Amino acid sequence: MAHAQYSLLDEEIEALVKGGYYPSKKDLIRDAIKTPMNVKADLRISAAVEIYKQGNISPGRGAEISGVSNMEFKRIISRIFFFYCKHKCIPLLKSRVLVEFQIKGTHKFNKNN
C-alpha cells in the first residue's frame, strides 16, 4: 500500500513539473515545505527558536525568519529560556551548591530549600 501511495505521489509531482507549474522537482518540494511555514506562523517561530538555540543565528535573524519584530522575538526566546531555566537550571544549581557545601564541610544545606 505504501508503495502505491509513493508511486501516486511521484506521478503527481511529475505531472506538476511537466505541466509547467514548477520548473523542477526540487522547486516543488521546496514550495511544499515552505507552504505550511507560511500558513502557520507558529512553525516559523519554532524553527527560528530551534536554530537560535543551536547558536546558528542572531536574535535579529531569528526575528526575520519568524516574521516578527526584533523585540517580539527577544520576548519569545526570553520566555522559552526562562521556562527552561526554571525547570532545568535551578535544580542543577541547587545540586551544585549542595555538593560545594558538602565538600567544604562548613555549612549544612537543606535539600528542601
Report pLDDT for 39: 74
Please give the Cα distance from 83 to 87 (Å, whole number).
Answer: 6
Report pLDDT for 109: 44
CB 77 within 8 A of CB 87: no
Domain extent listing, the chain = 1-33
Report pLDDT for 26: 95
Report pLDDT for 98: 46
Report pLDDT for 108: 46
Distances (CA, A) of 72 to 25, 28, 41, 78, 79: 36, 32, 13, 10, 11
Report pLDDT for 68: 92
Report pLDDT for 82: 58
Residues of the chain under the 50 pLDDT cut: 1, 92-93, 95-113
Nearest partner of 68 among 50, 47, 43, 41, judged by Cα: 41
